[in-house]
Every structure is written in structure tokens, then in C-alpha cells.
Structure 1
Amino acid sequence: MLFMSKNVIIIGGGIQGVCSAYYLQKEGHQVTVIDKSNFSTGASYVNAGYITPSHFISLAAPGMISKGLKWMFNPASPLYIKPRLNPDFLKWVWAFKKSATAFKVENSISPIMHINLFSRQMYEDIKLSNDFKFHYERKGLLMCYKTDKVGEEEWEVGKRGIEEGLKVEHLSLKDVEEIEPKANLNIKGAVYYHSDAHMTPNHFMPEMIRYLKSKGVVFFANEAVVDITISNKSISKIITNKQTLTCDEAVLAAGSWSPLLTKKIGLKIPIQAGKGYQINVNRKTNITIPAILCEAKVAVTPMDGFTRFAGTMEIAGINHKINTNRVNAIAKAAKLYYSTIDMTSEELSKAECGLRPCSPDGLPYIGKSSMCKNLTLATGHAMMGWSLGPATGKLVSEIISDKKTSLDIKPFHPDRIF
């Protein structure tokens, strides 16, 4: 088959957008990336930097609705859903409720795990290419717990991970102290996933953008897509606040803003923005292995030169308002689990947030909708956005290059019914 280079426009310059650009340019396509920011802010820069085969249980798990209702009145809870009479929000909640069944969660385990494992391999291939210098370590992930009840729950998940082929261990406090001797953890034990890796997002993103520019990828910063012209179920023009562009193919990787654009082609994908927070501690913490503080739902990552504490899921629409109650909850959790960690007011004042695009069933949207022939979606990754960047980018390039995809993408279809 004769290869045809295509003119591809990617809407969104976060991890999904730049990874799509990376694999598309490797296939020989002409690529342009448009983003409303300056390519230095957002969820792709303030996340925990996890590559997470361990996270194979969907957010839409049985019991999550009742937890959400219980936490609704606690401003410092790990999950906060702000009730509002918004049609898109109400449809999303209903779809989430229908997805939160044991049957649907069971069916999503294999797709979630395999795309994570595939993405981890892609990250390692990028690292081995010697075109980049970025922090990447595969030290696993500790699911740290303070109560026997939570420990038992985490181990049940861990045993399922073993069934799926992951290496998982149930560690006592003494076991944890042998591999993390100076962190002063105040816990009962941990479930240790050897499968996971971690990175420093603030290093990888600029490196990838630098590389892509050197390969001829065009970047338009501080430019918002305001309209899309459709002709015969195909995008003919992409209109920004600065110019009008034409393309053979388009990729929508606009995160939480994606539904605003899919509506223009008649596709209503349910996505809600899930706000997460991060606090960076730029001093020695003696933390060397990434951990999730289970009861508090806080992620801890030893990044290159600092330690990042991240957490909470706040579903309250698109906004970047910093909720100090939630920032303080992360700091409090850090102190409860690591007895020597005491964050300063200056560190708390520099807390940042990012919006994660959450689908109702915990699976991303990757692929083409029947509503548009030349639009490929790459959005809805929720808390696994960073983890799934390269896998998504590779799949997007295979779809646009008319190649057989490396993974079965049916579970991620944008037209799936909830």
C-alpha cells in the first residue's frame, strides 16, 4: 500500500497531544499542535507522574456513589462532587451510576491494565531512543494503609493483580522499612506493586516539545479553537481566535474541554473535569519509592530534585480556583503518614491544580466516532492521563495511518453507550 503523508492538526498540547504528535511525525505526517495555553501549564504538568498498571480498577466502582454522597458535605474529602442542575453533569452522573457495577468493572480490568502495560513499554522505548533526557524510574508503588480494614481491601485488589500477571506483595511495616528505611512511615503495612514506574512531568513535557519542534512539528501557543466547519461528516476547517486552518485529519486531545468541541460535530461525549492538587516539597524528604496513602487518597512521588504530594478529585466544573481546605487535607495526610514531613505555609501557598477529564466508566475515549470521518479522539483519561500518554499517541498514529492497532480499541470507542 502506498503511504500518504497527511496534514494532521492536534487540538490540545498536553501529554496526549504531544505523544500523538510524536508518533504521527515518526510515521511521516505533517503535524500541527494548537493549545490555548503556552504549553507549560495544566494537568500534564501538575500530576503525580505515575505509570500505573496497578490502577486496573475503574473509578466507577461499586460503592463509589455512596462514598461520593457521604463525602459531599466534607470540603476536605478525597472525592468531592459539587451538585448542580447542569444537564451535562446530570447525564454524566447517571452514566457513572450505570457504569458502577461489578460486571462492568470486571470487564474493564483487562483493557485498563493492558493499555497501561503497553504505555509503560512505550515510555521505556522513548527513554532508550537517546533523543531525550528525562527522569524515569521503575521502583513500583506502595499502597500504604493505616487500618486493617483498608489493608484487607487493598490486598484483595492486589491478589487480583497477581491473577492478571502482576508482581504484587503484601508487606508488613517492618518489610516496608527495609526498602524505605529513612522515610519514617507511620503505617500498618503496604501492598507493593512492582509493576509501576514514575517520572517528573515538568522535565518530560519540555523535552518532548523541544524534540518535536526539531522534527518540524508546528506549535501554536495561546490559541483557542473557537469553531469547527463540517462538510459531509468531515472537518474541513478549524477556526481559532487567530486564524483558519485546513487539515486532512484532526486529533482532539483537549482534555476537560473536549466536549465543548465534540458538540460542534453532533457528538456528546460525557466528560467532567476532575480537579486535582499538587504540593511540591523542594527539600530532602528521604522518600525514595512512590506511595499512595490509601485512606487519604494522596499520591507521593519522589521526583527529580523534589517530592510531590498530589491528590483529591473535585468534580465541580471547569475552574482553576484553589480550595485551601483540599490543599490543607493533602498536607495533613502527609504529616499523618510520614512523621517527619511538615509542610511550610510557603509550600502550601505554591500549591497548583489541574483538571483531569473523567469519563463515566473510567475508560478513555480513543478512536473515531461515526459522527466524523477525520476526527480521532484522545481524551477522557482521568487520573491515568500521564500513564497512558504514549499508548494513546501510538494508537492515534496507527488509526490515522490506517494501520492495525497495537491493542483492541473497542473498549475505548467514543460512541460506546453508557
Structure 2
Amino acid sequence: MGKRIIIIGGGIIGLCSAYYLEKDGHDITIIDKSEMNSGASYVNAGYITPSHIIPMASPGMISKGLRYMFDSSSPFYMKPRLDKDFIKWAWYFKKSSTIEKVEKAIPLIKDLNVLSRELFMDIKASGDLGNFHLERKGLLMYYQTQAEGDHEMLVAEKAKFLGLEVKQLDAAGIRKIEPNISVNAIGAVHYECDGHTTPNEFMQKMKNYLEGKGVRIYTNEEVVSFKASNEKIATVETTKNVYKTDDLVFAAGSWSSNLAKKLEISLPIQAGKGYRIDVKEPTGITMPAILMEAKMAVTPMKGFTRFAGTMEFSGINSKIRKKRVAAIANNASNYFKGLQISQSDRAKAQCGLRPVSPDGLPYIGKASGYRNLVIATGHAMMGWSLGPITGSLVAQLISNSKTTLDIKALHPERKFK
């Protein structure tokens, strides 16, 4: 007999968890504090990225953060502030940013992404969501300097060693693969293993599918408290209602840390703000790409081209910094000759908050103090790519079945030594 399961959070992780839990026969309720039409799951680059094998917590990132700290238009920005949670997170981040820890994380990140890519393909093949945009063109890493190219080739060699499909392109190769626009780059690494989607479309079709299957979705409800006994959470109280539950899933992204505090669980997370500009006019861009020196993404989506990027640590807020929007638009013009992003498109820029753990690995697992609580958050820039595999793992954890792969390293209460 199915369980009553409440999922807190209606982003890609929450919806994919509901997708697999519903298939296991459970009774699902999703609660979200927003309208569920904006945020990180809607403004991301739409990448499915087995190629993204390096966690954000890597050697040199702290020094970059310090260097960029007083430049609010930089691609990696940490707003200086005296905040206990931020300082603790930054210390854990520094301890995680070692070569040894990065090398240990790489195979797990690769396996998670490959499995998730196949699950994306399975969802499409199932027809559950109808026809939605999903392509396997790969991902181009454009570089304008040889130093950046050499750095990416080191990553490419690791990716090849792990069995991923990678090619190197010179300027002529770029012109051949992207003939309709002139790219200002001396070369590119082509990760043929990657794919891309249109997030807004996928999210809406997933919501429609889940509601058609009887999943209840409540928006504009904020969770305020929990009641527990015998190491089990019994009820969830929101600003509008009280819900009984057999099992509970935390998939609230950057807000998960505040929720965890209500249960006296420490879950170090910082919100990493990303921005996007959508251009509906034809751009000639047909290939997903990352502009390496600019640290930003370009994705041809269904009906528009998306320019996205930056990682801003300034707390939980939705403030749009015009300098950062301008930097994205200007960098796009620098890499694509003749491309100009209008002031109108810039004015419609949106942002989303990505939940970033200190070591760049997601939190996926059961909380030790509560037998019926599963935590699924902290995916940083890989949240979209890892949506399906995370949802599948959540369903396996709730069913007490063997997980698809060993996820001990993802335990929500792991120590950052």
C-alpha cells in the first residue's frame, strides 16, 4: 500500500521526486512557497551535462572569490557580509577545495550525470509528458585564449578517461559546426556526451502530468513548523493548512537549510544567484556553448536563445543587479560577432537561486534523526542535469530499496574535514 508523502519544494528536484514516487504507487502532495513559475528551475541553461565533472569547490575558487569580492559584475561574486552561516559555509568550502577531494568526487559526479541523462531520455521515450524539447548535440566550450583552452583540455582528458565523448575543434571546426554566426574564439572543446532542453516547457509539462495522475500541488504556502514523535515527522504545518505525512522530502533548494533548522538539522547551503536573458529574435546560434573566459552559458531553446550565467553569493534575495545583466549581454556580443542584446531583452532578465553545498556535491539521503525524512538539495549548477536521477534515488530511499549507485558521499549530514 502506498504512503502519504509530502514533498516540500516544487522545482526540478521536487517534481522529479514526485514523478518516480507516484509510479511506485504513493499518494503525493507537493508544497511550494512560490507560484512555481520562476526561480532556478526556470532560468537555468537547460544543460544535461555529464561533462561537468569538476565540483565547484575546487582549488583556486576561494582566491577567485576574494579577488572578485568587490566587483559586483564579476562572474563569481561573494558579497562581503558578517553572517554566521555564510562564514561557516565558506570555511567548509575552503576545506573541500583540495585536489584530493576533487579527484574523489569526479567519478561520482560523472556517474550521476550519465544516469540522469539516460533517465531524461527514458522520460521522453515514455510519452508521459508528451513531446518536449530534448537534444543531444553536445556542449561547446569556446575559448579565446590558449591558457583557457589548455585548462579545459585537462578536464577533457579526464572526461575521455572516464569514457565520455570529447573532441577538440579549431576555428575552422567551429565555423563548420556553427555556420550561421561568426564566433570570436580560437578553439573549442566539444563534449558530445551532453544534451540540452527548454526548462520552462519541461517543468510545465511535468506539472500537468503529475496533476493528471492525482498529485496535489499547493503553491504560495510556506512551511512554518513540524511535529514529530518517535523519530518520525507526523505533521507539516504551513501558512494555510496542517498535513499528515508518512514520509517527507526536503527539496526546497536554497531554502532547505532554513527548513532543516526547524528540525535542528545542520544543512550548510548558500544561495548562488544566476541570471538569464532570453532573446526571441533569431540569433543564428544552433549549438549550446559555454563562453569560457566570461563564465557564461548560451543555449538555443524552443523559440528563443538563452544567455545565462554568473554565480553570486549575496544571500537569499531576488534582487537583479543591472551590472551583472550588462556583463552577460556584453560578453555575448564579444563572443558572437554582430550579436546585440537589446535593452528591452536586458530589462526582462530574471534570476534564480541555486542551492550550493560546501563541497559541490548534492545532499541526497535520509536524515539520521528522523526515520521518514529524505533530503534532496544542494545541487549547485547541476540541479537541472541531476533532476531525474535525484528523483529516482529519493523514491528508492523511501522504498528502502538498494540505490542505483553508492550515495554515501552525498549524505546530508556528512562532515567537511
Instruction: Tell me the TM-score normalized by structure 2.
Output: 0.99
1:232 offset after TM fit, Å? 2.1
Partners of 2:271 and 2:152 in 1: how far apart?
A: 27
Partners of 1:303 and 1:408 in 2: how far apart?
A: 34
- Equivalent in 244, 258, 263 of residue 265 of structure 1: 263
Q: Does 2:278 match 1:304?
A: no
Partners of 1:39 and 1:58 in 2: how far apart?
A: 28
Do 1:158 and 1:191's aligned partners in 2 also have CA atoms closer than 8 Å?
yes
Query: Which residue does 2:121 correspond to in 1?
Result: 124
Query: Which residue does 2:147 correspond to in 1?
Result: 149
Query: Which residue does 2:285 correspond to in 1?
Result: 287
Query: Which residue does 2:356 correspond to in 1?
Result: 358
1:415 offset after TM fit, Å? 1.2
1:183 offset after TM fit, Å? 2.1
Specify every segment of 5 or more residues in structure 2 that has no aligned partner in the other structure, as ranges: none
Q: Does 2:19 match 1:13?
A: no
Query: Which residue does 1:320 correspond to in 2?
Result: 318
Q: Does 2:55 match 1:61?
A: no
Instruction: Tell me the TM-score normalized by structure 1.
Output: 0.98
- Equivalent in 226, 229, 251 of residue 227 of structure 2: 229
The equivalences for 1:89-238 within 5 A come to 89-132=86-129, 133-238=131-236
Partners of 1:269 and 1:221 in 2: how far apart?
A: 24
Equivalent residue letter for 2:260: T
Partners of 1:402 and 1:61 in 2: how far apart?
A: 33
Q: State the SS of the aligned residue for 1:415.
A: coil
Query: Which residue does 1:81 correspond to in 2?
Result: 78
Deviation string for 1:92-145 (max 9, x for gaps)? 000000000000000000111100000000000000011222100010000000
1:372 offset after TM fit, Å? 1.4
Runs of at least 4 residues off by over 3 Å: none
Deviation string for 1:388-414 (max 9, x for gaps)? 000000000011011111111111111
Partners of 2:6 and 2:92 in 1: how far apart?
A: 31
Partners of 1:115 and 1:183 in 2: how far apart?
A: 34
Q: State the SS of the aligned residue for 1:353.
A: strand
Deviation string for 1:238-260 (max 9, x for gaps)? 00000111100000000000011
Partners of 1:371 and 1:82 in 2: how far apart?
A: 34
Query: Which residue does 1:71 correspond to in 2?
Result: 68
- Equivalent in 27, 40, 43 of residue 43 of structure 1: 40
Q: State the SS of the aligned residue for 1:265.
A: coil
- Equivalent in 393, 397, 406 of residue 395 of structure 2: 397
1:229 offset after TM fit, Å? 1.4
Partners of 2:398 and 2:152 in 1: how far apart?
A: 40
Query: Which residue does 1:406 correspond to in 2?
Result: 404
Partners of 2:406 and 2:78 in 1: how far apart?
A: 32
Equivalent residue letter for 2:78: I
Partners of 2:273 and 2:121 in 1: how far apart?
A: 28
Partners of 1:341 and 1:120 in 2: how far apart?
A: 31
1:230 offset after TM fit, Å? 2.0
Partners of 2:26 and 2:415 in 1: how far apart?
A: 32
Partners of 1:312 and 1:304 in 2: how far apart?
A: 23
Do 1:266 and 1:371's aligned partners in 2 also have CA atoms closer than 8 Å?
no
Q: State the SS of the aligned residue for 1:328.
A: helix
Do 2:70 and 2:79's aligned partners in 1 also have CA atoms closer than 8 Å?
no
Q: Does 2:36 match 1:28?
A: no
Partners of 2:127 and 2:367 in 1: how far apart?
A: 36
1:39 offset after TM fit, Å? 1.6
Partners of 1:100 and 1:272 in 2: how far apart?
A: 16
Do 1:144 and 1:191's aligned partners in 2 also have CA atoms closer than 8 Å?
yes
Partners of 1:156 and 1:66 in 2: how far apart?
A: 20
Q: State the SS of the aligned residue for 2:262.
A: helix
Q: State the SS of the aligned residue for 2:107.
A: helix
1:38 offset after TM fit, Å? 1.5
Do 2:156 and 2:189's aligned partners in 1 also have CA atoms closer than 8 Å?
yes
Equivalent residue letter for 2:191: Y
Equivalent residue letter for 2:404: S
Equivalent residue letter for 2:399: S
1:37 offset after TM fit, Å? 1.0
1:66 offset after TM fit, Å? 0.7
Percent identity, aligned pairs only?
57
